[in-house]
A = this chain, B = another copy of it.
């Protein structure tokens, strides 16, 4: 068992959990005052970051330990929780690659973060090309359908 302490939080206009339409959301990540603000030094040399956060509003009873239909849509196959990115998952971890727009002191301004206002951030990693897939990415058709309106 491990203990995770938030290193910051998300500030944005979206207050409610929604499945789609994250494309226009701009967010600020504010780093906690316990960390030295030098923890962000040099980050602006990267165009993209991966933000790690906790789906903090998910109750333990909602966590899925087996398989389910993504978004409870019966037209999509029942797949394991580790074969989907839904929030009701063991450990409730979220991770999303965002575009970095600006850094100011202990704040970073990003686009494309699918996390609501107040979400606890637990890590930030710079995106390096060498850590992206080195082969073609294949995925099932249900996942492309599910993503159709996600970034709109």
Contacts and interface: CB of A to CB of B under 8 A. Distances in A.
A137 B127 CA distance: 8
B83 A45 contact: yes
The complex is assembled from copies of this chain, and their number is 2
A102 interface: no
A49 B139 CA distance: 10
A125 to B, nearest CB: 5
A50 interface: yes
B54 A39 contact: no
A129 interface: yes
7 contacts: A1-B5, A2-B122, A7-B91, A42-B77, A45-B139, A52-B93, A82-B126
